[in-house]
Amino acid sequence: MERINIGLIGYGIVGQGVVKILKNRRKFFKDKYKKDFFIKTIADRSIIKKPSPGLDNTVLTADHHVVLNDKDIHIVIELIGGMSPAKDIILSALRNGKHVVTANKELLATCGQELFRQANADNRMIYFESAVGAGIPIIRTITEGVAGNKFNGVYGIINGTCNFILTEMSRRGLTFQEALKEAQEKGYAESNPTLDINGMDTAHKLAVLVFLTQGKFVSVKDFHVEGINHISHDDIEFANTLNLTIRLLAIAKKIGNELDVRVHPTLIPKDHGLATVNGVDNAIFLDMDPMGDVFIEGQGAGQMTAAAGVVSDLINLGIRKDVRMPTWIFNPTEEQQDLNLRKIDAVETRFYIRFMVIDKPGVLSIITGVLGQHNISIASVNQKQENKGSTVPVVMLTHVANERAVRDALEQITHLAVVRSKPVAIRMEKL
């Protein structure tokens, strides 16, 4: 029976979940894989304040260098998140001959190419299943299960917090703030949820999916990222009447030699699988050639879900740890040189636009006149009936329109005397 010594750096919620699984299923893993996954050392700055039952044979330390310098440790699990010192920890682990498991999507999105090159130089591997979709096996599906396919597009709901908020706004008629508060009370959202609701968490995960499916390392600074905090209950209601659903969607699709990469709230048809993904669930829709469409869904948040993805990586690394690792698709190092990012200004799609206007004759003709000046054609108009003189929402669906033209038109419309607030525009996506 071979023992696989593990060094865990970061003993937070997910780290504690990993320990629970490895302790509770140790005999099962021994019997099935003929490997003994042993937690040799745990490093955490606050280790003395955290519960550690059943870890009598494990070294507990506040110094992560104890893990990195231990020659007997085979695999380092990095679960502290963020950029620093996580990057130095992973680089040091690789240089010291250790494989790495991480769930750090921000670091991979920002420095993935550098980390993978170091891994290949040291004949080590970085596994990162829980970086996208927690325990949903999307990374392994892309890199192994459908490796022979060309990826035409990737569409994902990959932030459980935002999906929970939008689901509760739709199901129960909650306001954005009410749904966010409930997400925090249930532990689905951080006390500071900014990275979730402004779309950046989704953007980091999308960047990881892009380099795995398209061979292009993209920075979140170079593509459009938009959150959900401007979505109102009016938008949810109007979407329902149009047989559409609003979801925060990660989009990456190949158009010729360009990549259209963006994150934003998106209107999708209710009969599409992504529209049925509710609560904290995540889902990824892959458009591939020759295989066609693949849809993967599962719980995308929670301690044990994320921990299960980490343990899956541990098992796969434990089985392969002594195999000579060539440069492999799981840790890509080179880019597709002929691919360029399409600027958001060049995107063309249909739009849902909500205006808050004074309810009086002539308002619609004024607004449609401005839209017409920018070559934006209207497909339909919906207006709630209210008392004359009051402020009412007017919703328009456009035909396919240019992003820049829509933005310029809305900027002009915002300053009209009959318009009471900045218009809300939500892109529609044909899946």
* Residues carrying an active site annotation: 205
Q: 92: Cβ–Cβ under 8 A, 6 or more apart, which residues?
A: 68
Q: What is the DSSP string of 228-291?
A: STT--HHHHHHHHHTTEEEEEEEEEEEETTEEEEEEEEEEEETTSGGGG--TTEEEEEEEEETT
Name the DSSP class of 309. H
- Residue 422 CA, chain-centre distance (Å), reads 28
Closest alpha carbon to 336 in 214, 223, 210: 214
Q: 337: Cβ–Cβ under 8 A, 6 or more apart, which residues?
A: none
Question: Rounded CA gap, 111 and 4, in Å?
Answer: 28
Q: Residue 389 burial by CB count (10 A; 0-12/13-18/19+): exposed, middle or buried?
A: exposed
Question: Rounded CA gap, 29 and 315, in Å?
Answer: 8
- With b for 16 or more beta-carbon neighbours within 10 A and e for fewer, the 11-20 pattern comes to beebbbbbbe
Strand 35-43, strand 2-9: pairing: parallel
Per the listing, tokens 């390392």 go with: 217
Question: Rounded CA gap, 291 and 134, in Å?
Answer: 25
* Bridge partner list, 354: 395, 424
Cα-Cα-Cα-Cα dihedral sign, residues 204, 306, 266, 261: positive
Helix axes 105-121, 86-95, angle to 10 degrees: 20
Q: What is the DSSP string of 159-178?
A: -HHHHHHHHHHHHH---HHH
